[in-house]
């Protein structure tokens, strides 16, 4: 029987040992995990084959089956990823800042591991390795709960990880997996605040809402965005078209993909037919507000379009659909974004200094872009080397979370007998 | 009727305006609040007198009545505090870090206000001014809910603040107060995650637990500590006695006050009689583990002491009571702290380099001290200029929260047409 309390206690004890490890020790463990993954690839693939078989029986889509599938090459890629995490700089132990007080006390804010991280994630076995390696690198213990469709694959991967940890003298409880797919355990897991310091749900809006409502552990929510590009009257049209195409089409199912284009009224007549053509060549269908609809109606082009419904500008499309709306002023554009954005990624295309500045100052998303694609809001693209999640909340971390965001700090105060006056 | 949704919406709209204010504008508003406080002192004192009258009727202790009381001098002090906040550096707008990517994108993490802060606090009218001025300085809107015993005083103070804001052209909804003492509203308030970005409960363990369990808004918990001093075998006894006295006696009712002294066995026989004497002169009574009890029994001294009960080392005393426990090794001391501390403030007194280092590395409290009093864990003492709360959780902020901890950041990404490859 799955005993979450026991897992929590084990993770907490393990986290004390993990916090003492040097970077060399942690990197050695990452290399051992990589080696063990390659040495035990057959066993992992055998378990994955059973998951795939059940997935087919249960009618999973081709897309989901592909996300679930492991191959010899994919396992090698996971091993390579472990070794890549070993090359990243370790934030633990560094000083955020330091000062000397008038009474002689030396104060430093030192980065330390958070402790125990809980992660709930989708049915992708590669995430098990991603999260386990990033939490290990930062000296945190992890309790994982992946999608039930990958249960056997994940258990096989966690077995490999735990065997590698044991070889390195690191407690197995540093990486634990909730091996029971019962959903009731998720609710129980969210309330383990005595043992778990941070909960990261990766998944849809439903999971995030559940975490906000039920979790007693501090939660990092994110990964959901309604993203905008505002085409200002001074925009370079080629830049605007390229940015819109990239943001909408490159990977429509992700959270930094474009959902709505706002167009300044002074360029509506000239720009809308161009964007309609460009979207038509990419099989994107348009949802137009009355003003852009009237421009579309007046121009011959091959775009699929229809009038926007009442909720269309509050929808994260995750698909080849794009909202179009004409605005009278930059202020109207900003207000529309403030009212509809989920604080993820928003961009302005402009050559006007004042408007660019106003947009950056007043749009308060996790990432605000000038003349660039919203698709850049990503840990890898921002040069963080890794990404655990994209946060759209205000506390602790915003936007892509890298290794540093898996740490906290403590105040280290060194004295020679000082007492408070 | 108190309409929390309406208050939330108003605060969110106000927060957009606040985020646009320059530091000069915010400082001018702080000075106006100070001036209005002085000009309207009589009205505030009249309402406070009614609160005091009711407090006496309801049998509040002298201590609570004193915390509740405002006088002409105390109002002048509040005005001076507003002006002092105006002199603090404004963290909003500064860059945390900045980089240029290979593709030419310029990326900066810029500090911005969090948005809307919710604060639930004890029956002290001065906290109303403290919180309102610190949130205003950082460009945040605030929704406040103070102890019911101070309702009329707080409403009078918020009226003064709102009148000052209006004079400065700042929306009144920047600072709002929940004017209904009904406790059911607190539960509703905690669930306003659509409008409120951060909830700070100031108060006892019960309020913190309620927030963890019920709040859908991210919560900063803290302000509760079981604090330790470990007297190592190489400790300077004078330093140790002064630190213990300061940490225990100076202000026993606060969260960074000392609760338990751990003593290395090699100095138990010599140190325990000395600490017993020093505590006796301060009317502190001791709760001793079997080993320290036997030392106390064998020595003539005037200290009040008794055997420690089963929960005594898990108790935040808030009073002139001190736990004593003998440990065999520094490892035992650290394990005891890890098991009993609430991650607030812990200190080692030692002259041994290796032990000091081990203690700092392995004790993971919000502040870890070497040869200094735990009483220093405080925003003012650490040179932050102000303190909103002391956090003992791991996310966002640990230890004293100053102005910087009332901000978050956004990624500002400047390009000239970049798209993601």
Q: Is A376's CB within 8 Å of B408's CB? A: no
Q: Is A408's CB within 8 Å of B398's CB? A: yes
Q: Does A205 touch chain B (CB under 8 A)?
A: no
What ipTM, to 2 d.p.?
0.94
Q: Which residues contact A61 (CB under 8 A, 6 or more apart)?
A: none
Q: Which of A219, A408, A412 shows the shortest C-beta gap to B368?
A: A412
Q: Is A105's CB within 8 Å of B372's CB? A: yes
Min Cα–Cα distance to chain A from B409, Å: 7
Q: Is A420's CB within 8 Å of B213's CB? A: no
What does the block give as tokens for B70? 């405002």
- B112 interaction partners in chain A (CB closer than 8 Å): 364
For chain A positions 377-396, those within 8 Å of chain B (CB to CB) are 377-378, 381-383, 393-396
Angle between helix axes B41-57 and B23-39 (nearest 10 degrees) is 70
- A140 interaction partners in chain B (CB closer than 8 Å): none
Reported as a single tens digit per residue, the pLDDT across B404-416 is 999 999 999 999 9
- B410 interaction partners in chain A (CB closer than 8 Å): 364-368, 398-399
Q: Within 10 Å of residue A308's Cβ, how many Cβ atoms?
A: 20
Is a pLDDT exceeding 80 seen at residue A301? no
CB-neighbour burial class of residue A24 (10 A; exposed 0-12, middle 13-18, buried 19+): exposed
- A394 interaction partners in chain B (CB closer than 8 Å): 114-115, 197-198, 218, 408
Nearest CA in chain B to A240: B417
The residue among B134, B183, B132 whose CA lies nearest residue B154 is: B132
Confidence tier at A318 by pLDDT (50, 70, 90): very high
Do the bridges between strand A345-349 and strand A227-231 make them parallel or antiparallel, or are there none, so unpaired? parallel
Q: CB contacts < 8 Å between A and B, how many?
A: 208
Confidence tier at A411 by pLDDT (50, 70, 90): very high
Reported as a single tens digit per residue, the pLDDT across A31-59 is 999 999 999 999 999 999 999 999 999 99
- A219 interaction partners in chain B (CB closer than 8 Å): 218
d(CA B341, CA B316): 10
Domains of chain A: 4-221+397-414 (3.40.605.10), 227-376 (3.40.309.10)
What does the block give as tokens for B416? 């000239």
Torsional sign, CA A275, A281, A282, A287? positive
The residue among A204, A221, A205, A235 whose CA lies nearest residue A347 is: A235
Reported as a single tens digit per residue, the pLDDT across A138-156 is 999 999 999 999 999 999 9
Q: Is A410's CB within 8 Å of B365's CB? A: yes
- Residue B400 DSSP SS3: strand
Q: For chain A, how many helices (H) and strands (E)?
A: 14, 16
d(CA A356, CA A360): 6
- What's the pLDDT score for residue A129? 95
Which helix (H) or strand (E) covers residue A176, if one does? strand A175-177
Q: Does B106 touch chain A (CB under 8 A)?
A: no
For chain B positions 332-371, those within 8 Å of chain A (CB to CB) are 338, 356, 360-362, 364-371
d(CA A211, CA A200): 9
d(CA A413, CA A270): 63
d(CA B128, CA B131): 6
For chain B positions 132-161, those within 8 Å of chain A (CB to CB) are none
Return the CA Rg of chain B.
Answer: 24
Q: Is B362's CB within 8 Å of A19's CB? A: yes
The residue among B274, B289, B269, B285 whose CA lies nearest residue B243 is: B274
Q: What is the pLDDT along chain B (421 residues), one digit of tens a residue?
A: 789 999 999 999 999 999 999 999 999 999 999 999 999 999 999 999 999 999 999 999 998 899 999 999 999 999 999 999 999 999 999 999 999 999 999 999 999 999 999 999 988 899 999 999 999 999 999 999 999 999 999 999 999 999 999 999 999 999 999 999 888 999 999 999 999 999 999 888 888 889 989 999 999 988 889 999 999 999 999 999 999 999 999 999 889 999 999 999 999 999 999 999 999 999 999 999 999 999 999 986 788 999 999 999 999 999 999 999 999 999 999 999 999 999 999 999 999 999 999 999 999 999 999 999 999 999 989 988 878 889 998 999 999 999 999 999 999 999 999 999 9
Min Cα–Cα distance to chain A from B396, Å: 4
- For tokens 């940890």, the residue is A165
β partners of residue B323? B260, B287
Min Cα–Cα distance to chain B from A75, Å: 25
């Amino acid at each position: 029987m799955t005993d979450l309390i026991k897992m929590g206690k084990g993770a907490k004890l393990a986290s004390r040992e993990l916090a003492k490890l040097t970077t060399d020790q942690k990197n050695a463990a990452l290399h051992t995990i990589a080696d063990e993954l390659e040495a035990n690839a057959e066993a992992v693939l055998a378990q994955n084959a059973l998951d795939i078989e059940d997935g087919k029986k249960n009618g999973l889509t081709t897309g989901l089956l592909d996300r679930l599938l492991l191959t010899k090459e994919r396992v090698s890629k996971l091993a390579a990823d472990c070794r890549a995490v070993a090359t990243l700089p370790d934030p633990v132990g560094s000083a955020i800042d330091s000062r000397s007080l008038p009474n002689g006390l030396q104060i430093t804010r030192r980065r330390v591991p958070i402790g125990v991280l809980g992660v709930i994630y989708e049915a992708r076995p590669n995430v098990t390795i991603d999260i386990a390696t990033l939490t290990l690198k930062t000296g945190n213990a992890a309790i994982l709960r992946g999608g039930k469709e990958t249960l056997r694959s994940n258990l096989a991967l966690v077995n490999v990880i735990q065997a590698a940890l044991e070889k390195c003298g690191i407690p197995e409880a540093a990486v634990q997996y909730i091996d029971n797919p019962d959903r009731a355990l998720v609710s129980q897991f969210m309330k383990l605040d005595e043992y778990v310091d941070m909960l990261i749900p990766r998944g849809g809006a439903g999971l995030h809402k559940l975490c906000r409502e039920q979790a007693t552990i501090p939660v990092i929510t994110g990964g959901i965005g309604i993203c905008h590009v505002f085409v200002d009257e001074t925009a370079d049209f080629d830049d605007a078209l390229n940015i819109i195409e990239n943001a909408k089409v490159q990977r429509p199912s992700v959270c930094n993909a474009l959902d709505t284009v706002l167009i300044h009224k002074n360029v509506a007549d000239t720009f809308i037919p161009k964007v309609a053509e460009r979207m038509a060549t990419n099989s994107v269908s348009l949802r137009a507000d009355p003003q852009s609809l009237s421009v579309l109606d007046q121009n011959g082009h091959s775009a699929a379009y229809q009038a926007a419904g009442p909720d269309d500008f509050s929808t994260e499309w995750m698909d080849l659909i794009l909202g179009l709306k004409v605005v009278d002023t930059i202020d109207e554009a900003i207000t529309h974004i403030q009212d509809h954005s989920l604080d993820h990624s928003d961009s302005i295309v402009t050559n006007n200094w004042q408007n660019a500045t106003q947009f950056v100052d007043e749009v308060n998303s996790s990432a605000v872009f000038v003349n660039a694609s919203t698709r850049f809001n990503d840990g890898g693209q921002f040069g963080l080397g890794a990404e655990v999640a994209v946060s759209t909340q205000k506390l602790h971390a915003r936007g892509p979370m890298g290794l540093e965001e898996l740490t906290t700090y403590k105040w280290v105060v060194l004295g020679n007998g000082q007492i408070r006056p």
